[in-house]
Chains A and B, each alone.
Chain A
Amino acid sequence: MCSYIVEKAKLLGSAKGPNGWMRIDTANVYYDHPFHSPLDHVLGIDFINEAQGGRERVALELSADSARALVDKILAALASGEAEHGKGAHPHASPARGRVAAE
């Protein structure tokens, strides 16, 4: 199916795109048909700086299984890293989440 369902995650960080490094403040996350991947559906993530208009992005298209595996690995890396280094604290530690228009 084609849908317009997008989950928005607020972020604090940076990403490297075609024009070099940029600050990012948002990840648009969706599950739909890909543009590039030869899969029927992908978990897509677009990292953007919405405050600056969001015109540049760093994009991912992942299979559902590999997206779930990535979530596990992110959590595992955070757990081991924070055990080693301690928890980082910053003013955006509890990012807001939202959903935009759905069809």
Chain B
Amino acid sequence: MSYESMLAETVAFTGHKGNVGEAYYARPLGPGPWPGVVLIHHMPGWDWWIKEATRTLAYHGFPTIAPHLYFREGPGSPDDVGARVRAAGGVSDEQVMGDVRGCMNFVRAQPYSNGKVGVIGFCSGGRHAYLAACTHPDFDAAVDCWGGNVIVDDKAQLNAKRPVAPIDLTENLRCPLLGLFGNDDENPNRDQVNRTEAVLKKLGKTYEFHRYDGAGHAFFNAARNAYRPEQALDGWSKVFAFFDRHLATTAAARAA
């Protein structure tokens, strides 16, 4: 029987405009080399499930960093800080992209890194992951889990904090994209997912989309009624296979 180990802790990272924030970081122990992942939390914030997902990726061999995107509104518990951010209309895309870049640099700079870094996000974080993949050419793979508002049908919804619909930046996408969606979701709904796929296809991007019947929004989240274990297990397997294929540097890992 082999010995297994993992380290999960709060770390500091340098984000947008050089601001130093906190992130949750989980990694397998051992020499590596390992590909890294930046995990972007959903609107409610830096909660239990986000940290659980971070540890899940580490368990599967990906050192994963989940920045607390609301750290500037602290100190305070993540839920109180999230309430302040919500009341202020959310965080700006520019700031989130700066923080995500900082975390990408953090994980790539680790001595056990293989140099490859992916990004994954859930809900509003899925939108941010799509945006990051179109904004930062240094990502090697991206996973959008049911990100809403990638397509913005009502342009009045665009504002100073979110000035551009991510779909309009798809031309800049440089890395493979995996999308996971529940067919009962209302944001993004089936039509929006289909239209996003049509844009990716038209522009010749490398992508794979998986749609799940009997699932709606946030179907990975075991803390909610939305949890769908069968679909979630399949979805996670798609995530691990995708990251193995695009982030691993060894033939054995690529074949895994």
Contacts and interface: CB of A to CB of B under 8 A. Distances in A.
Given A28-B87, A38-B224, 15 more contacts: A1-B186, A2-B124, A2-B148, A3-B148, A28-B83, A30-B86, A32-B44, A34-B44, A39-B224, A40-B217, A57-B80, A59-B80, A101-B159, A102-B157, A103-B149
A8 B83 CA distance: 13
Interface size class of A (residues with CB under 8 A): 20 to 34
A35 B86 contact: no
B223 interface: yes
Interface in A1-52: 1-4, 6, 8, 28, 30, 32-36, 38-40, 46, 48
Contacts, number: 82
Q: Give the dominant DSSP class at B's interface.
A: loop
Contacts of A101: 88-90, 159, 161
A55 interface: yes
Interface string B76-98: 10111011101111100000000
Given A2-B123, A28-B83, A59-B83, A100 B43 contact: no
Contact of A35 (B45, B76, B217): B45
Contacts of B162: 103
A19 to B, nearest CB: 12
A4 B44 contact: no
Interface residues of B, number: 34
B116 interface: no
Q: Give the dominant DSSP class at A's interface.
A: loop
A55 B157 CA distance: 27
Nearest to B43: A2
A56 B224 CA distance: 26
B82 A35 contact: yes
Contacts of A6: 86-87, 89
B47 interface: yes
6 contacts: A6-B89, A8-B87, A33-B123, A40-B226, A55-B76, A55-B80
B225 interface: yes
Interface in A45-103: 46, 48, 54-57, 59, 100-103
Interface in B74-131: 76, 78-80, 82-84, 86-90, 123-124
Contacts of B187: 1
A102 B80 CA distance: 20
Interface string B135-152: 000000000000011000
Most buried by B among A32, A55, A56: A55
A103 B218 contact: no
B117 to A, nearest CB: 24
